[in-house]
Structure 1
Amino acid sequence: MKNILFSSLLLLGLQQVSAQNFTRKDSLQGGLRHERTSFDVQRYDLNIKINPETQSIVGYNDITFKIAEPTNKIQIDLFDNMDVDSIVFNKKKLKYKRDNHAVFIDLNGTMPIKKEGKIRFYYSGKPLIAKNAPWDGGFVFKKDAQGKDWIGVAVQGTGASLWYPVKDTQSDEPDFGASVKVAVPNGLMNVSNGRFLGSEDLKNGYTRWDWEVKSPINTYDITVNVADYVHIHDNYKGLDLDYYVLRENEEKARKHFEADVKRMMDCFQSKFGTYPFKEDGYKLVETSYLGMEHQSAVAYGNKYLKGYLGRDNSHTSIGLTFDFITIHETGHEWFGNSVTSKDIADMWIHEGFTTYSEAVFVECTLGYEKALQYVNGQGANVRNDKPIIGHYGVNNEGSGDMYYKGSLMLNTIRHIVNDDAKWWKMILKYSETYRHKIIDTETVVTFFNKETGMNLTPVFNQYLRYKNIPALEVRQNGKNVEIRWKTDVANFVMPLEYTLNGKTTRINTTNNWQSIPKATMDKVEFNKLKMFYTISKQ
């Protein structure tokens, strides 16, 4: 388990859950009961065979753990369509009970605190097939242009336990990483997280490919990628860069990745700190689906195009200057894979910061003004449909606005700070302070309050906990223009820039009416590039 920095938001969570019905299955998957909190995963060692013809898996996972609270029972998760073949501990088969996707395992007696153990969990079955990866979780079984098998998996949100037995919660990651050994038919290669340890012909028509990641890793990041891959290796300033691509795309990939990866690494490491998984290397692995931030083995399926499959999500044309998937999914190595949210209700900690990293890359390569255009162009994608933060303890994400509204919120906070040197120092410190840690929203807010010396809590709350963004109400009152913020939170304060008669003024604006003297509404221009808000003229 990575160091958990968590401050309870129980009351808020109860209020949220009461507004929506959740099932026992949701609570089992998203909650933290004694059978989960009583043990700390130290390591996973996965050893499986994938049969493309039957689209099935058979094998086992060795789960090494340390007892955190005395217990005689632990919860390991495996989707109920997969079979539990047996669970072995100290050479004895254990009794277990299945409840939806949870497997409650009897340890044959209470284990004391700090006691270490290892279970071998044998399993088999046909894992869930994704209908539209990566937006729904599951395996992808396809063929490449040569008719060879091309297999991948993406499970974020749905759960890693759809294909292997695991403590399926973001609150616990293996302290000492994981090994992934995957046997696939001869002529195919499997690429997983971390470093390649070697392969072995099993003399039964299958070859096993062995990988190991030494860093703590999100369970949804553990991955398999099976295809007739070719390997391209490079090293940039001491960081290993490896690309695994379909054979027919080798030359295209060499040129395409060269265009973005090295300048991206220069940018991100200067702003967010050293690549957080240097010991495991950096890989891009070609997949048949669009992409996913699989730690040290980033899934790449953007077809070697600029933008997002040739489109620009910022609606500015700036997004066509780089490969969206390369930049966005690699940004997750810092935000999501290194700095991780304890509950998926706080997934904005992954997606908001990572979407903002796209604008950071634009600023590094094209300058501040282009970055400002880019991040504001993202505003067209904001729906304001529901809060960004989801319901805690029930495996529930909030609004998809966590991406673009989250990015625009960070741009807003940058300009509230109004000191770029301080801002970039703060972003770097945030990334380094919580490197390889698990945190929650309150931890983020507390950090930025402390580092800025401001009370940003109302700002975070408005953007994250309510569907609406701040609305600037404007009215004419005699010879003056009056303004105030309309927000759901009380005591909201956010500075505002306006231009009148060629002069730009910045004022702290509140929920109370304030005057802009000697002005008319048609003469006052409000700067909406630095803050994300709407204007309501009365």
Structure 2
Amino acid sequence: MEKFGIMRKIAIASLLCIGLQNIFAQENFTKRDSLHGGLRFERTSYDVLHYDLNIKVNPDERFISGYNEIAFKAVEETNKIQVDLFENMKIDSIIFNSKKLPYKREFDAVFISFENPVLKNSQQKIRVYYSGNPIVAKRAPWDGGFVFSKDQNGKPWIGVAVQGTGASLWYPVKDSQSDEPDNGATIKIAVPNGLMDVSNGRFIGSQDLKNGYTRWDWEVKNPINNYDITANIGDYAHIHDHYKGLDLDYYVLSYNEEIAKKHFEEVKPMMDCFQSKFGNYPFPEDGYKLVETPYLGMEHQSAVAYGNNFKQGYKGSDLSGTGNGLLFDFITIHESGHEWFGNSITSKDVADMWIHESFTCYSETVFLECQFGIEKAMAYVNGLKKNVQNDKPVIGKYGVNNEGSGDMYYKGALMLNTIRSIINEDTKFWKVLLDYSNHFRHQIIETKDAVDFFNAETGMYLTPVFNQYLRYKNIPILQLRKNKKAVEYRWVTDEPDFEMPVEITANHKNFRLNASNKWQSTKFTVKNIKDVTVAQNRFYVEVQKL
């Protein structure tokens, strides 16, 4: 294996981060943003243990009512905690030890006061009763909210997707990715008789409430991030399968049962591929489900939302423009990839959502490689370049619920493919990726955790590479020029002291150059600098020939 560069002092990276934060500080964020995205004492003083959500959904009135019981452990002694619920939703009461608690609301934050301090390490429960008409999404899943629609038979068909907008849009919750309920969640949703609710985890029973509604009960054993908790309501048919020790369940509209049985056979080779590359399915206790939804899709843990109408590609088209994107159902593969990246490994702050989306976008390439070979896979990932905007940094502003650039998808995948080429040894790359997934299984991490892991496992100092692709809008520029005796080369980057190898072809031979920000010379020359080609299919870089 060819190594490059030398280890730099961590202080350099720290100073860089401070500078970037000052740049971001010039953006305009509101008090509401900081209340949603920040980690003040009222949030960090307690650790959520379990959610017990019990609500009724009235499709005609688009109205929900019920409660969420939050079990938690006090990390520090406190007499006040923050829970979140969108301000358009009414809080009916908050009950603690059979007594009502006082609270104050500020935007979507609910500050709950206790009569006596909650002692450190004590375990408690509060029950928040609430009701209201949740926000209806205009274009789910790109904006958050409920989707109230009808199926082809005129029956209600309802879904909810709130990633980015916030789970507190529809239920009281500690609305931060920094804390998942350690002991999972119970989700009980009552819907009109004749309909079914499908939520996360295992089905544990239904109950006719004798009031025109039936309650459907689901239980999640594993930790789950709050935007993954979901409700899917419709006239569903249930398809059950079992594959290599894993339960596979599909819930589709009743008239789509036969087409779904055939179409979802793709899940089996997907599971073979992803488990070989990323480790065992992260939530076997909760099973794996695909649930047909009236919106395109979302990575709801153990209840993946599927709305691609049983088509190949992305709504029948190919995001890469190569034709290879039509070899698989984009929603099945991408959203299921999130079970490993986003659901099992979750970013502490939404500013680091590349931890979810970059790896998951690359999982599409991984699946293609497993099924159809490396040539089609590499053509696909390079075809995604046309979708990259390079408009702003991939990493957003911390503490204000800011996701950063949508380039976290395609640019992030191309960055990982570049790192694969930097490592230059596929056996090692796949081991690093597998070990990364297993090491951080069921954990909440930050960018530094991911970068430090790749540095340690590769024996390379990849921090400048991650920084350039994630913290700046520009990609590295490789400048080439010719002098009388050699070809000269260097990187032009925003990141200081940048080093990264790159491969070129000259005089019908391949060369690997360990380039830096300083001009260096090769031991060969060429007749014309235009005769030098750069392996841009393996390294996502810009090339300037001077």
State the TM-score, normalizing by the size of structure 2: 0.96
Distance in 2 (alpha carbons) for counterparts of 1:429 and 1:351: 18
Residues 471 and 536 in structure 1, CA contact (< 8 A), matched pair in contact too: yes
Render the CA deviation track for 1:188-219: whole Å, top value 9, x for unaligned. 00000000001111110000000000100000
1:337-378 deviation line (CA, Å, top 9, x unaligned)? 000000000000000000001100011011112111111111
Instruction: Output aligned runs, 1:40-439, within 5 Å.
Output: 40-258=47-265, 260-439=266-445
Which of the residues 524, 536, 539 maps onto 1:531?
Answer: 539
Distance, in Å, in 2 between the alignment partners of 1:158 and 1:83 is 18
Q: CA deviation at 1:501?
A: 2.2
Distance of 1:14 and 1:450 partners within structure 2:
26
Provide the rounded CA distance (Å) in 1 between the counterparts of 2:195 and 2:474: 50
Cα distance in 2, alignment partners of residues 221 and 295 from structure 1: 6
**Sequence identity (%):** 67
In structure 1, the residue matched to 2:3 is none
Query: Does the aligned pair in 1 maintain the 2:482–2:525 contact within 8 Å?
Result: no
Aligned to 1:503: 509
Which secondary structure does the structure 2 equivalent of 1:454 belong to? coil
**Do residues 515 (structure 1) and 515 (structure 2) align?**
no
Q: Deviations over 1:298-343 (max 9, x none)?
A: 0000000000001001111001000000000000000000000000
State the alpha-carbon separation in 2 of the partners of residues 525 and 38 from structure 1.
56
Measure how far apart 1:533 and its partner are. 0.3
- Rounded Cα–Cα distance in structure 1 between residues aligned with 2:505 and 2:491: 18
- Write the letter of the residue equivalent to 2:482: Q
In the aligned structure 1, how far is the partner of 2:230 from the partner of 2:41?
A: 28
1:453 and 2:484 matched: no
- Of 293-302 and 375-384, deviating more is 375-384
2:10 counterpart residue number: none
The SS at the match of 2:530 is coil
Q: Contact 1:27–1:393 at 8 Å: present in 2 too? A: yes
1:462 CA drift (Å): 0.2
Partners of 2:427 and 2:486 in 1: CA distance: 36
- 5+ residue gaps, structure 2, are 1-12
* Contact 1:13–1:392 (Cα < 8 Å) also in 2: no
Deviation at 1:522, TM superposition (A): 2.5
Give the Cα–Cα distance (whole angstroms) in 2 for the partners of residues 75 and 320 of structure 1. 46
C-alpha distance in 2 between matches for 1:81 and 1:12:
38
CA 1:48/1:82 → structure 2, altered by over 3 Å: closer, same or farther?
Answer: same
Contact preservation (8 Å) 1:412, 1:532: yes
- Alpha carbons 2:530, 2:545 under 8 Å: kept: no
> In the alignment, is the contact (CA less than 8 A) between 1:156 and 1:220 conserved in 2?
yes
Q: Secondary structure at the match of 2:417?
A: helix
TM-aligned CA distance change 1:401 to 1:121, over 3 Å: same
CA distance in 1, matches of 2:84, 2:367: 38
Tell me how far apart the structure 2 counterparts of residues 8 and 345 of structure 1 sit (CA, whole Å): 17
Q: Map residues 447-486 of structure 1 onto 2, 5 A cutoff.
A: 447-486=453-492
Helix, strand or coil: the match of 2:312? coil
Aligned length: 531
* Cα distance, 1:14 vs structure 2: 4.1
Per-residue deviation, 1:515: 2.2
> Are 1:37 and 2:44 counterparts?
yes
Alpha-carbon shift at residue 11 of structure 1 (Å): 3.4
1:333 partner SS: coil
CA distance in 2, matches of 1:355, 1:411: 11
Give distance in 2, aligned partners of 1:88 and 1:266. 47
In 2, Cα distance between equivalents of 1:418 and 1:253: 40
Deviations 1:442-483 (A, max 9, x none): 111100010111110100000000000001112222353221
Deviations 1:412-437 (A, max 9, x none): 00110111111111111100000000
Tell me the equivalent position of 1:3.
none
Deviates more, 1:353-362 or 1:499-508: 499-508
Q: Secondary structure at the match of 2:110?
A: strand
